[in-house]
Amino acid sequence: DQQVKQNSPSLSVQEGRISILNCDYTNSMFDYFLWYKKYPAEGPTFLISISSIKDKNEDGRFTVFLNKSAKHLSLHIVPSQPGDSAVYFCAASASSGGYQKVTFGTGTKLQVIP
């Protein structure tokens, strides 16, 4: 049962344009959502997060939008740069027995074309 889904395995975008990465979830108990970025042969790095009480969080070129009614979140990168080429993981967390359990999506590989 994949509770966090990233339905697009890959995405190609021209440099300077907007990249939009999507993520859907099924568990309404998730109360925090995070995005991680991963380069080959490296561990994922935390990028940006959003609480379920908000619908938008912005950090420089990165903005995360949350639509709770649709159980959907998205990461916008504007403008996209070649260095943004990486795999992006969506993650969601929920309290479980006193522990904040985090579930990851399967990732979307973003290629930014110069």
Partner 1 sequence: NAGVTQTPKFQVLKTGQSMTLQCAQDMNHNSMYWYRQDPGMGLRLIYYSASEGTTDKGEVPNGYNVSRLNKREFSLRLESAAPSQTSVYFCASTLAANYGYTFGSGTRLTVV
Question: Which residues contact partner 1 by CB under 8 A?
Answer: 4, 32, 34, 36, 41-46, 49, 51, 89, 93, 98-102, 104-107
User: Which among 68, 61, 55, 57 is positioned nearest to 83, based on CA atoms?
Assistant: 61
At its nearest, how many Å lie between partner 1 and the CB of residue 106?
4
Q: CB 89 → partner 1: shortest distance, Å?
A: 7
Smaller CB distance to partner 1: residue 80 or 93?
A: 93
Least distance from partner 1 to the Cβ atom of residue 16, Å: 28
15 or 31, CB closer to partner 1?
31
Q: Where are the beta strands (DSSP E) in the chain?
A: 4-5, 10-14, 19-25, 32-38, 45-51, 56-59, 62-67, 72-77, 86-96, 99-104, 108-113
Nearer to partner 1 by Cβ, of 42 and 114: the residue is: 42
